[in-house]
Amino acid sequence: MDSNLRRVYLTVAIVLFVLWTGMLAWVLKALKPGIISFVSAPSPQIRNKIEGFTPSIRVPGINFSFYHTLPNENFLRLSKKYNLLETTLRSLNQANDNSQPEAGTTLIIPSKDGIFHVLKSGQGMADIARAYGISLKEILKANHKRGDADLQPGEVLYLPGATYLPRQDVKWLSLASLEIQKGFIKPTTGRFADGFGPRLHPITGKEAFHEGLDLAPGWRARVVASQDGRVLFAGLKAGFGRLIILDHGNGLTSWYAHLDEILVKPLQLTKRGDLIGKVGKTGRTTGPHLHFEIRLNGIPQNPLLYLVQ
C-alpha cells in the first residue's frame, strides 16, 4: 500500500473516531441525570422534594453525591443501582414513610451502607442513641462530636450499627415528638448577634465559652416566653442584670438576661408567646441585647437545638 493511500485511511479513521466519541457523549448526556460529587466538606444546599429539608452533611470517612431521579425510579431500583441497602437511602433522605421520589427529586447518595439521621430541633444525642438502640459513645466517635453543643438542626448523623426506624415505629414517633415537646420559639425579634460556644469575650477580650445566644432587636423590644413554664426567678443577678428564669419541667429552664424591665413575678405561670419583659442593657454588657439560654439540669445547651422558628 503506498503512502498516499495510507494517509487517506488514517484520516478517515480519525474522523470516524471523533464522530463516534461525540455521539457517545451526546447519548450519555441525554440518558444520564446529572451527578455532582462532593466529599464531606462545606455543607451543600440540597433541594429535596420528599420532605423539603436542607441537611448539613459532614460525616468523617463517608463521601456523598447528588442524584436527580428519572421517571419511574424508586428506592429499590436505586439501591440496586448503587449497591446499597434501600434502608440506607431512605434514612438519609428522610423517606422512612414508604414514599417514593418524584421525577427530578434530588437525592443524596452515600459511599457506604448504614443508617443516617437528620437532626431536628429538640433532639439530642442521648435521645437519638436511645431511639436507634446504639451507644452514645459510638455516635460521638463516628461523627467526631463531643456532645449536643456541637450539633445544629438539619445536620446529618451517621449511626453505626443502628436499626432502621420506619415512620410508624413507636421509637421514631417518640423521637419526632421531641420537636414539639421541646419546641421553643424565638424570644424576641432581631438578628443573632452572638452564638453558643467559644468566643472572644467582648469586654475582657479573652476566649470564653458563651452559654447562650445574643439577640439584638433594639432597646426595650418585646421579650416573650419561649415555652410554657413557671417563673423560677425574676430579679437582679450578678453579670446577668435583670434576669428572668422560666422552669419548663423535666430539668429544662430558659434564661432571659440584661432586661430593661421585668413584667412577671416569681411562681407566675406563663404561656409560650406571653410578654415577660423588655430588652435592655443591665448587667455586664456592651449594649442593649437579650442574652437567651436554655439549660438542662443546670447545664447550658445550644438553644438552636430547641428553637423551632
Q: State the chain's mean pLDDT as an integer.
A: 83
Residue 62, sorted as left (phi over 0), alpha (psi -120 to 50) or beta, turns out to be beta
Confidence of residue 63 (pLDDT cuts 50, 70, 90): very high
pLDDT of the residue at 51: 44
- In angstroms, rounded to a whole number, what is the distance separating the alpha carbons of residues 214 and 289? 7
Alpha-carbon gap, residue 151 to 59, rounded angstroms: 12
How far is Cα 115 from Cα 165, in angstroms, rounded to an integer?
Answer: 9
Q: What's residue 34's pLDDT?
A: 39
Mean pLDDT on 234-258: 93
The dihedral region occupied by 268, where left means phi > 0, alpha psi between -120 and 50, and beta the remainder, is: beta
Question: Is residue 44's pLDDT more than 50?
Answer: no
Q: Is it the case that residue 180 has pLDDT exceeding 70?
A: no
pLDDT of residue 53: 45
- Domain spans, the chain: 38-181, 191-305
Residue 266 confidence (pLDDT): 95
pLDDT band per the 50, 70, 90 thresholds, residue 27: low
Kindly tell me if the per-residue pLDDT of 244 is higher than 50: yes
Of 10-24, 60-74, 75-89, 221-235, minimum mean pLDDT range: 10-24
Least confident of 17-26, 230-239, 289-298: 17-26
- What residues form DSSP beta bridges with 280? 289
pLDDT of residue 86: 96
Residue 145 reports pLDDT greater than 60: yes
Whether the predicted model's global pTM rises above the 0.85 cut: no
Quickly state the pLDDT bin for 135 (edges 50, 70, 90): very high
How far, CA to CA in Å, does 250 sit from each of 97, 129, 181, 182, 234? 30, 19, 11, 10, 20
| pLDDT tens digits along 90-105 | 999 999 998 999 999 9
pLDDT at 212 over 80: yes
CA-based nearest residue to 35, from 64, 71, 76: 64
pLDDT at 35 over 60: no
Domain 191-305 has CATH 2.70.70.10: yes
| Alpha helices (runs of H) in the chain, residue ranges in sequence order | 3-31, 75-81, 86-92, 125-132, 136-143, 170-181
